Structure 1
Amino acid sequence: MTRPLLAVDARDPGAVLDALRVALEGGPAVAPRTDDRVPVDLPGVVPQAVSLGVETSGSGGRPGRVALSPVAALAGAAAADGALAGPGQWVLALPAHYVAGLNVLVRSLAAGTEPALLAPGHFDVGAFVAAAGRLDHPVRSSPLVPAPLAGAPDVAEAAPAVADVMRRFDALLVGGQATPAPLVERARRLGVTVVRTYGSSETSGGCVYDGVPVGRTRVEVVDGQVELAGPSLAEGYLDDPERTAAAFVVRDGLRWYRTGDAGAVSSDGVLTVSGRLDDVIVSGGEKVSLGVVERVVREQPGLADAVVVRAAHARWGEVPVVVTDAAPPAPTSADGLAALRSAVAAVVGRAAAPDRIVRVDTVPLLASGKPDRVALTRLVADLAAS
């Protein structure tokens, strides 16, 4: 049994919402897209169990489409409701073709509420606050990525009315990339409830909140890799059985998703993710996780949005390099680099100290808002060769 798969222009979030409503009720499945060209690799039909083809970010250089069933999508919504303040109203401030944005639409449909939809494009704090002011449900939530959240405390501190609106959210869910701890603490000092989420398209979005699995999600670390199980897991990847078989495994009678992330679970069940398994470099004979280095770098003044990538080095093999588009006084000078190296070395070790800081006019982003690490790694290599 199959059903049609329809491409829907995600630049019109309302159209995605309407198509998704039909898909969850058993109609044609939905594949949100961002341009007028239907992808050539998009199948015309999908298995009956699939209602949504979610585009992955491609942050690792290999985008694809994850096949979600209505059971998985709605299980993710139910888990979120149970972990937060219950079903409510949402602001859509993220792209409607990636799972975090689609979750807003799914959760709104499940709750029977009307989401506030922001126009796609550059995030504007004022527009976000205006949309939040239009919410009329007592339970209010919205997902964000760290970059938009970074500007919110500045606006809130300058305008008490804005701070009041931000505080009325039961939760601002922040995920998708490392979120600097000082940013979270600053928002919380203003009375803004920030929840750090962890998950992916393969898990119907965030399924671990502040390190704790939500709903019926289970977390294990196998050979250093984080694995997730539960009813929100995807069916696999559209038309990619080899990738599906590599990412989803059955163990102890449960189906698990192998995330590719390195992590650990504490004795009280709290998950800590230290970075991608494939972002580990060997520098001077020592293993260094670029994700861990980036977390420390982003906690330094002026580098909240910095990105850490790998670069070849004649002596050490590979080294971490910091890329930032922050304007001065970001620590891009020799003294600033020395201070940054000391700060990183104190936490992670000398081998993890960044080799240099590269300043760019603009950090290239994927459509999801995540840094394009593949492009940045290539840029750093090209600069070294020139």
Structure 2
Amino acid sequence: MPKLVPVTDYPWEEATATGVGSHPGDDREAHMEALRTAFGELPMPYLPELPGRGVGADMIGRGASLLAELPVEVQPSGWRFTDRSGRDLKRAVDHLARDLDGLEEVAQGYVGPLKIQACGPWTLAGAVELRHGDKALSDAGAVRDMVESLAEGLAGHIAQVRRRVPGARLVVQLDEPGLPGALAGTVPTASGFGRLPAVEPVIASERLRTLISGLGDDVFPIVHCCAPDVPFEVLRTAGARGISLDASLLRRRDEDAIGEAIEADVAFFLGVVPGVDTRLADIGVVAKPALELWRRLGFAPARLAEQVVLTPACGLAGASPRYARAALARCRDAARVLREDPGEGME
């Protein structure tokens, strides 16, 4: 059985659950309700995102709004770098400012773990176009500049969250659903007729490491990737302390890399309930993927509830508000199974 050295610096208590990021809704009241749900249902609340509000509330626009001195605008093909800030960027900045106002209101007096999310650099580079050219991913220098800009902007965002919720122990999630495609060379060019060259894993890791190292020693960095072929080694060597993924996409061939990450004290945020309306399974069934993975890898059950956090499989923007609340509550209840005897959760 693999040997694990006890770790005590995870910012959450054992048997924890949280959400991924997005929620249904298209107005301020929906966002306030999503915040109340996150803080009311979860041991690790988070700052919800509502892409249904339109331009600037989407993952790419929200991430681009954090870039320091790299303004963007919306073109028919999507987000593009521009010479000066305009109304599209202002909308994105305003959405985030209002979300932080709501967070401060709902989180009054809160002390504990709090997760915030931002689009990761490789996903952002694969979506935002250069001023007069292809996507930023096509230009190594542009990617480097974007990483440095995002690091500066994200540091400012983290500082704002700390001011508004001073009792928070921050978990910062970088969303990288586009990273496997960047590594595989499957990201389409701006024209859509070709594919951009694959990114070398060492370069992908280095750029992520630059961003993660700029977050601060008092932040717990994780990377979310709900796509197939999660690059576990790239994320681990980049300094991610946690990896968030859809448990239904795991394959047996991934387990050696997962085991190495677990031995390195990397936490796993396992997505175990669907992100769209469906009939939710009983808590034992929901917890089963985590229990079975841990058992197959041969790790001691005592660490399971500390090192594994349960979440929905991905964001909840495509769900109904009622289902979103129920899904988070089911993750919370299933997480408690992880600290019981694993045999009980398998019945």
Q: Give TM-score scaled by structure 1 length.
A: 0.29
Higher relative contact order (CA 8 A, sep 6+): 2
Q: Kindly indicate which of the two structures has a greater share of residues assigned to strand.
A: 1
- In our comparison, the structure showing a higher alpha carbon Rg is 1
Q: Give TM-score scaled by structure 2 length.
A: 0.31
